[in-house]
Amino acid sequence: MGWMDLAGDMGLKSPPTPKDIGLKVERRSHPRREHAGFGVTIGVKSIDREHAALFDQLDRLQGNPGVHPGSEAFTELLSRLGRQIDAHFKSEEEILRTCGMPEEVVREHFQAHTAILDEYARLNLDMMDGGELSREDALRLIRNWIVQHVLSHDVKIVDFVTAPTDV
């Protein structure tokens, strides 16, 4: 289920915000939070910290107009982001295996992780082969990996974590 399905079910014409789907929303005064303007709290501190770090990387990319596909700075940020996403998915999957989430939902979540990592690898291979991608298209893809994944998949963890955890 993508954001369009979720938004349509809710009578919305744009991606649902965390507040629309019942998540705790923390307004932040961080000046680079313009892309989302919110913090999503899942209830597992390690995941929440990892999400914040991923949003920070996205902010760095969006806030630097000189950083574009093909530039050394973009390659460096993309590489760092890829490592963060991979590490995040590994820790999140450990939690998903034990949180009591239905097996089918866990499987779909894992498949979403695999799809994102595949897209990441394809993007890197395309760039290495000299493929051209606009800055806007690259940012849209990366935003989808982070924002839409959190809103479509990670929010479901809230239903299975009964109390905030320090994990």
Q: What is the pLDDT of residues 8-53, one digit of tens each?
A: 555 555 555 545 544 444 433 333 333 343 567 788 888 989 999 9
79-119 per-position pLDDT tens digit: 999 999 999 999 999 999 988 899 999 999 999 999 999 99
> Could you identify the residue written with the tokens 């913090």?
39
Cα angle 160, 161, 162; round to 5: 105
How far apart are alpha carbons 55 and 90 in whole angstroms? Answer: 18
Residues 47 and 154: beta-carbon distance below 8 Å? yes
> Does the structure show a pLDDT above 60 at 167?
no
pLDDT at residue 120 in the model: 93
Look at 21 and 128; give whichever has higher pLDDT: 128
> Does the structure show a pLDDT above 60 at 125?
yes
How far apart are alpha carbons 81 and 65 in whole angstroms? Answer: 17
Query: Which value, to the nearest 10 degrees, does the dihedral of the CA atoms of residues 88, 89, 94, 95 take?
Result: 70
How far apart are alpha carbons 24 and 39 in whole angstroms? Answer: 8
Provide CB contacts within 8 A for 121, sequence distance 6+.
none
For the domain made up of 43-159, the CATH class stated in words is: mainly alpha
pLDDT at residue 3 in the model: 43
Look at 34 and 68; give whichever has higher pLDDT: 68
Task: Name the DSSP letter for residue 10.
Answer: T
Least confident of 36-50, 60-74, 80-94, 134-148: 36-50
pLDDT band at 160 (very low <50, low <70, confident <90, very high): confident
Rounded to two decimals, the pTM is: 0.72
